């Protein structure tokens, strides 16, 4: 995928995942072939009032290629101001979150709540596009409670978005059911701007099904959890699937920025994803261990079983 001067080099994109896509995870996914990476969603308001809180969420690894910073909010002017915050300087693209279904975001009229208020959504996009020296993209769902993705996608295009990413579920669906690839294909044929398809790509088969929609790029979220190799695999590249090496690299990067106590608790979910083969007692130990090195040892002991 190409966007003016910005060459993605390929079509595989790591999804933004709040509480998951930390700098270490983005690094290992990039190492295994993710062509573009997103930040976790960043509050436009927080950037204005409490930039310190946001700054750790905007650090990046040299391994990352096309870097996309995602913001969320509901006030056009505040979002436009956020774009010029120096914290976002290194992102080549700014993305606007219009897909988050989390109740605490939706109740503020942010994330996917904007799919119920297309005039405001359009105002946000056009104000951000005007204020930005970089392309502005939008991440959407099919709709809030029904599929009106064509109307939403056209609105994004008319408001100046450079591309849209469609997670093909409604907000009401949350993560249940399956992503609707037919809607992705329909949107792709209706728009002039590139469309990135998202939802349930976890292996070669689902990747081929997503590509058959004609999309310009494919975004992968949960399929990469504990499995950064997915990017190499889908690219048909040779890769070393040594999970211990990946875990150690992920942690080594986090140790440059975070204290051990935070990393120990934070990494538990990632360790359990990486070590999907762990069962019973050993799994519980990793889920509760006060020492990350002990957890690594447990995983190492079980790796060949």
Ligand X SMILES: Cc1cc2nc3c(=O)[nH]c(=O)nc-3n(C[C@H](O)[C@H](O)[C@H](O)COP(=O)(O)O)c2cc1C
Residues at the interface with ligand X (CB under 6 A): 15-20, 40-41, 70, 97, 99-100, 139, 167, 198-201, 220-223
Closest among 264, 190, 188, 274 to 11, alpha carbons compared: 188
Is the CB of residue 44 less than 8 Å from the CB of residue 82? yes
| Residue with Cβ nearer ligand X (85 or 225) | 225
Phi, psi of 219 (to 5 degrees): -100, 135
- Cβ neighbours of 126 (radius 10 Å): 17
CA separation for the pair 43, 160 (Å, rounded) = 21
If 0-12 CB within 10 Å is exposed, 13-18 middle and 19+ buried, where does residue 233 land?
Answer: middle
Task: State the nearest-atom distance from the C-beta of 263 to ligand X, in Å.
Answer: 18
Identify the bridge partners of residue 136 per DSSP, sorted by sequence position.
94
Is the CB of residue 41 less than 8 Å from the CB of residue 69? no
| Residue with Cβ nearer ligand X (92 or 302) | 92
- With vertex at residue 24, the alpha carbon angle to CA 22 and CA 29, rounded to the nearest 5 degrees, is 95
| Residue with Cβ nearer ligand X (61 or 227) | 227
Task: State the nearest-atom distance from the C-beta of 250 to ligand X, in Å.
Answer: 16
| Residue with Cβ nearer ligand X (93 or 298) | 93
123: left (phi over 0), alpha (psi -120 to 50) or beta: alpha
Closest among 237, 225, 165 to 196, alpha carbons compared: 165
Task: State the nearest-atom distance from the C-beta of 225 to ligand X, in Å.
Answer: 8
| Residue with Cβ nearer ligand X (168 or 251) | 168
| Residue with Cβ nearer ligand X (38 or 298) | 38
CA 186 to chain centre: 23
Tokens of 48: 């204005």
29 has catalytic annotation: no
Distances (CA, A) of 35 to 27, 38, 162, 232, 264: 11, 11, 18, 11, 29
Catalytic residues: 100
């Amino acid at each position: 995928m190409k966007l003016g001067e910005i060459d993605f080099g390929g079509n595989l994109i790591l999804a933004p995942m709040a509480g998951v896509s930390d700098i270490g995870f983005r690094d290992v996914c990039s190492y295994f072939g993710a062509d573009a990476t997103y930040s976790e969603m960043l509050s436009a308001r927080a950037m204005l009032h409490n930039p310190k809180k946001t700054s750790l969420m905007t650090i990046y690894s040299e391994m990352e290629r096309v870097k996309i910073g995602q913001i969320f909010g509901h006030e056009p002017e505040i979002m436009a101001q956020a774009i010029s915050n120096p914290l976002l300087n290194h992102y080549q693209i700014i993305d606007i979150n219009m897909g988050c279904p989390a109740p605490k975001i939706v109740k503020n009229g942010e994330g996917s709540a904007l799919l119920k208020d297309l005039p405001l959504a359009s105002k946000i996009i056009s104000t951000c596009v005007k204020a930005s020296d970089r392309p502005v993209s939008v991440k959407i769902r099919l709709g809030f409670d029904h599929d009106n993705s064509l109307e939403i996608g056209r609105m994004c295009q008319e408001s100046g978005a450079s591309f849209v990413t469609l997670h093909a579920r409604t907000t009401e669906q949350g993560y249940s059911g399956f992503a609707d690839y037919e809607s992705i294909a329909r949107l792709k044929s209706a728009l002039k701007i590139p469309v990135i398809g998202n939802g349930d790509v976890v292996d070669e088969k689902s990747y081929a099904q997503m590509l058959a929609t004609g999309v310009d790029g494919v975004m992968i979220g949960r399929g990469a959890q504990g499995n950064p190799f997915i990017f190499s695999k889908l690219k048909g590249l040779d890769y070393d699937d040594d999970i211990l090496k990946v875990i150690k690299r992920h942690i080594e990067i986090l140790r440059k920025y975070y204290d051990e106590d935070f990393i120990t608790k934070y990494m538990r979910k990632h360790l359990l994803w990486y070590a999907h083969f762990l069962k019973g007692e050993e799994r519980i130990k990793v889920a509760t261990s006060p020492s990350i090195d002990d957890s690594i040892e447990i995983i190492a002991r079980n790796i060949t079983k």
